Amino acid sequence: MLPAESRKALDTDARRAIAERQRLHPRCRDHHLCGRSRWIRITATVECEDGVPVRISA
């Protein structure tokens, strides 16, 4: 489960990657239901068709 600040940062990074049609490499904190937390890194690519972003694949 991503805490609010991590979700906000991920959303900001994703919007920037889509606008710039670039790869996405955010690092964010993940909280487990048992109470533990860890840092995770997501790697994703913005896929375009005719120069228009159509999906993000991770």
The pTM (predicted TM-score) of the whole model is 0.76
Single out the residue of 29, 25, 57 nearest to residue 43, CA to CA. Answer: 25
Determine the structural domain holding residue 31 and report its residue range: 4-57
Output Rg (C-alpha) for the chain, integer angstroms: 13
For the record, the structure tokens of 20 come out as 């710039």
Question: How far is 44 from 47, CA to CA, in rounded Å?
Answer: 9
What's the total number of domains in the chain? Answer: 1
Residue 58: per-residue pLDDT: 85
Per-residue pLDDT tens over the stretch 1-58: 888 888 998 999 999 999 999 999 988 888 888 889 999 998 999 999 999 999 999 8
Q: Which residue has the tokens 């710039």?
A: 20
